[in-house]
Amino acid sequence: MNDVSVSEGVAYVYDSDWQLETRRLLANQVIWDAGTIDHLERLGVRDGWRCLEVGAGCGSIAGWLADRSGPGGRVVAADLSTERLGWLAGRGVEVWRHDVRSDPLPAEAFDLIHARMLLQHLGEGRDAVVRRLAGALRPGGFLYVEDTDPSPVFRGTAKDALSAVKAAGYQIMREAGFDDRGGQSDIETLLRCGFSDVVADGRVAVIRGGSAEAENYLLWLDYLAPRMRAAGLVGDAGIAAARRLLQDPDHRWLSQVMLSVVGRKGGRADDGH
């Protein structure tokens, strides 16, 4: 438990086998799904689309894509860990155990590829991954990626305990390869990889202590706390004080900035999307 998963020399900071990881990912969906779905609506996802959701987590977005693209469409949910995606089989979704850094993808098979909070965990391998994803898109197809910038998290609350765990937690994450420039790096990557019509925007949530959304931050802290203590970054009292604030309904804080970045694969679009 609480080990760093390592594959092909790149670490993913969260351990998929941590007993609370499913709850952490579900709370993450509660915060971010509505904005992601807004973007997908605006992209015009519709009947017959072929969609790939990479780093699918608990699969809520893959489920939405399956409903929207209908029986004539195709949706694939791909992740290093597929244990949380079994429920999607009943929705007609193909579930692939897949390492986006190394596993092959079919050529020009998808109209849309979406990945949320994945690329920023891939370290220097990000460009190679994006080039491989581009190969799996049809000409004119959309790559929609989302990653976070933690700058505003907990800011303005004047709570020292939260500042301390924020500094410690993101230090540990950066050491495991996390890119805290998030979507800013995604914009540069998509441009370097030849995508056209690259557009980006950001969104921030206000989180209330003790809420379903707050659980994501509480579990983030619980997951990283042993490493914060072991590295001497925050002690028991600091962690307990931060936990109290995260459960306090009278306390509100800002989320990360979620940057959504969309680009189109160059070349002739063959179906007028």
Ligand X SMILES: C[S@@+](CC[C@H](N)C(=O)[O-])C[C@H]1O[C@@H](n2cnc3c(N)ncnc32)[C@H](O)[C@@H]1O
Which runs of consecutive H residues, i.e. helices, occur in the chain?
21-43, 60-69, 126-136, 160-175, 183-192, 214-230, 236-246
Contact pick of 62, 95, 117, 172 for ligand X (by CB under 6 A): 117
The pairing of beta strand 10-12 with beta strand 5-7: antiparallel
Where does this chain touch ligand X (CB under 6 A) — which range of 49-57, 176-184, 185-193, 206-214?
49-57
Nearer CB in complex with ligand X: 80/200: 80
Token digits of residue 61 = 């977005």
Where does this chain touch ligand X (CB under 6 A) — which range of 24-32, 149-157, 202-210, 229-237?
24-32
Sign of the CA dihedral running 47, 56, 113, 169: positive
Minimal CB distance residue for ligand X: 57
Contact pick of 27, 35, 50, 55 for ligand X (by CB under 6 A): 55
The maximal CA–CA distance of the chain, rounded, in angstroms, is 60
State yes or no: residue 260 binds ligand X (CB under 6 A).
no
Binders of ligand X: how many residues, by CB under 6 A?
A: 19
The closest of 142, 54, 147 to 98, measured between CA atoms, is: 54
Which SS3 state, helix, strand or coil, does residue 265 take? Answer: coil
Contact pick of 50, 68, 74, 101 for ligand X (by CB under 6 A): 101
Cα(188)–Cα(181) distance, integer angstroms:
11
State yes or no: residue 166 binds ligand X (CB under 6 A).
no
* Residue window 79-98: x/- pattern of binding to ligand X, with contact defined by CB under 6 A: xxx----------------x
Residue with token string 């540990």: 172
Nearer CB in complex with ligand X: 100/262: 100
Which SS3 state, helix, strand or coil, does residue 3 take? Answer: coil
Q: How many residues does the chain have?
A: 273
Q: Is 92 left (phi over 0), alpha (psi -120 to 50) or beta?
A: left
Nearer CB in complex with ligand X: 100/161: 100
State yes or no: residue 116 binds ligand X (CB under 6 A).
yes
Contact pick of 77, 93, 100, 228 for ligand X (by CB under 6 A): 100
Contact pick of 2, 4, 16, 269 for ligand X (by CB under 6 A): 16
Q: Which residues bind ligand X (CB under 6 A)?
A: 12, 16, 25, 28-29, 55-57, 79-81, 98-101, 116-118, 121
